Amino acid sequence: MITPPHVALACLIGTGAEEIYKNNGSIDLGTIYASVIVINLFFHYVLDVIPHGHTLNPFDTGNNLRSFYIELAISASIILLTLFISDQPILIIVSSVASLIPDCVSTSLAKFKLPITLKKILSQIQRFHFFIHWFEKIDENGKRIVPNPSKFELISQSIFVILCIILIFLLKLK
């Protein structure tokens, strides 16, 4: 899944958690934060089970920076919009960051030299993440083949993002 659907869902989850916290005084903020992190990690993998392409492949040596900047701008806009209407902006930021942890792990392993112990731990997370990406193939050299998104995938992800934004506003308007 490209970044905006993960971020849009994270902002929706953060906004929902914010409303639960506001309307239920018996739940402490620490429990809300922990729940948001776990829920976002879970839904990251749920979204990733759906076949999708990637506009930016961290495993390629060449970078498609235009696509990266477009994803970054859309994701940042969603976060900023949600922060603007939020009562708990830190909760929205934590939610957004948590939703991207599996992708950050994969990118870190592909792009950075890490201490061996950290690399072993992160490799286990990455192995599960690759398992979830069941539709991706590995070539004869052991390199991951990451497809570009189809027009249908981009349109369906755009619709998903728009629906998440609408739901965020509906939660805040009630």
Amino acid at 152: F
3-state secondary structure of 33: helix
pLDDT of residue 55: 63
pLDDT of residue 116: 85
For residue range 62-86, list pLDDT tens digits in order.
Answer: 556 677 778 889 999 999 999 999 9
pLDDT of residue 59: 47
Query: Between the CA of residue 18 and those of 76, 131, 135, 170, what are the distances in Å?
Result: 20, 32, 35, 13
3-state secondary structure of 168: helix
- The H-or-E segment that residue 56 falls in is none
- Half-sphere exposure (CA, 13 Å, Cβ side) for 173? 6
Q: Which residues of the chain have pLDDT under 50?
A: 57-61
pLDDT of residue 1: 53
For residue range 37-49, list pLDDT tens digits in order.
Answer: 999 999 999 998 8
